[in-house]
Every structure is written in C-alpha cells, then in structure tokens.
C-alpha cells in the first residue's frame, strides 16, 4: 500500500510554512534552497507560495488529493519534517486532519496503517512531507484570511567555526 501522503499533499497547500532563516542559509549549515523561500519577518522565511490566500508550496509537484511529491524532500525545512500524518505513529494529528478536510479529503484513521505502507525515502522527489505537531502561532489571529501558520522549533544558527 502506498503512503497516504503520496496521494494527498494537502498540508503543503494549506499552511504557511515558516521557519528560521538559517535553514535556508548555507553559511549557517542550512540546506533548504533559499530561492524557494521568501521573507516573512526579521527571523523567519517561508516557502514560496505558502503565503498566498490559496497557499501551495512552490516545491510541491502533482495534484493535491491524487498524486504528489515534494521536489526538495531531502532539503525540506523543519516544519515539513515535523508534521506526521495522522495515526502514522499511533497519534492523532490535528494539522493533518485540518489540511485534509480543507481539501475535501477524509481524515486518516488508525485503520489506514493496519497494513504496511511503502517506506518513504530521502531520494529526490520520491516522497512527501512528514509533518508533526505544530506550535500555535502567537500572531496567527492577526493574520485572519491568510493561511494558517505552520511553525516548528526554530533552528538556531550554527556556531561560528
Ligand atoms: S501529513 Fe496529512 S495532510 Fe500532509 S500530506 Fe500527509 S496525509 Fe496529507
Ligand atoms: S514538504 Fe516539500 S512541498 Fe511540502 S511544504 Fe514542505 S517543502 Fe513544500
């Protein structure tokens, strides 16, 4: 059975994916392509496309709800590592549910994982986001009408050599 994320992608087209700028700065060890990001605030950047009123990450390939792939899977930022599909690890994921429902997709259930699913890899665009619990954005209320903010622990810049 295929991993459900590979026929979903809803979270990549629902949240504003914000993370510390250093994740996209090679001089601090960042690996997310800077050209696929844009400024958000003095400390954070976002994946391009996710600030839109109809958000969709520029790195997402395919059709949401049918067949999708992250074109920078091995270089995706921390929020994308952090969000895990609902029940994949035996735990609910309100963010996964929220994104799927917003795209008219049914939420995942524990039964989804009753059979083994295809293993995701870090090989190119072979797989999709693995998202997890997301901190509530303190300024989300001020951004009414914009995509909900997808945040995760900000990575501190690497210490100078
Ligand atoms: S984490 Fe949930 S919303 Fe995101 S791609 Fe996977 S199944 Fe879809
Ligand atoms: S997993 Fe990839 S396509 Fe999805 S939001 Fe993150 S970078 Fe964009």
Q: How many whole angstroms separate alpha carbon 153 and alpha carbon 155?
A: 6
Strand partners, 60: 70
Q: What pLDDT is stored for residue 2 in this prediction?
A: 85
Tell whether 155 is covered by a domain.
no
Q: Which residue has the least CA distance to atom 6 on ligand 1?
A: 5
Q: What pLDDT is stored for residue 142 in this prediction?
A: 43
* Residue matched to tokens 């939420």: 107
Tell whether 111 is covered by a domain.
yes
* Residues of the domain holding 70: 4-150
Tell whether 158 is covered by a domain.
no
User: Cβ(83)–Cβ(92) under 8 Å?
Assistant: no
Task: Report CA(86)–ligand 2 centroid distance (Å).
Answer: 17
Q: Could you read off the pLDDT of 1-60 as tens digits, one per residue?
A: 789 999 999 999 999 999 999 999 999 999 999 999 999 999 999 999 999 999 999 999
Q: Domain total for the chain?
A: 1
Q: Which of 17, 16, 76, 21 is nearest to 43 (CA)?
A: 21
SS3 17: strand
Among 63, 128, 147, 150, the mutation site with the greatest number of ligand 1 atoms within 8 A of its Cβ is 128
Task: Report CA(161)–ligand 2 centroid distance (Å).
Answer: 30
Tell whether 161 is covered by a domain.
no
Tell whether 156 is covered by a domain.
no
Q: Could you read off the pLDDT of 63-100 as tens digits, one per residue?
A: 999 999 999 999 999 999 999 999 999 999 999 999 99
Tell whether 122 is covered by a domain.
yes
Written as six digits, the tokens of 51 are: 């600030």
């Amino acid at each position: 059975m295929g991993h459900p994320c590979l026929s979903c992608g809803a979270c990549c087209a629902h949240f504003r994916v914000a993370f510390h700028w250093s994740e996209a700065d090679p001089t601090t060890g960042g690996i997310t392509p800077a050209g696929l990001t844009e400024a958000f605030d003095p400390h954070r950047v976002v994946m391009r496309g996710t600030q839109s009123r109809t958000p969709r990450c520029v790195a997402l390939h395919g059709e949401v709800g049918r067949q999708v792939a992250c074109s920078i899977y091995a270089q995706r930022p921390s929020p994308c590592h952090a969000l895990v599909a609902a029940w994949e690890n035996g735990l609910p994921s309100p963010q996964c549910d929220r994104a799927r429902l917003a795209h008219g997709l049914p939420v995942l259930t524990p039964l989804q994982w009753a059979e083994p699913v295809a293993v995701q890899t870090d090989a190119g665009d072979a797989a999709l986001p693995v998202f997890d619990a997301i901190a509530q954005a303190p300024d989300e209320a001020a951004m009414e009408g914009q995509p909900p903010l997808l945040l995760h622990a900000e990575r501190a810049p690497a210490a100078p050599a």
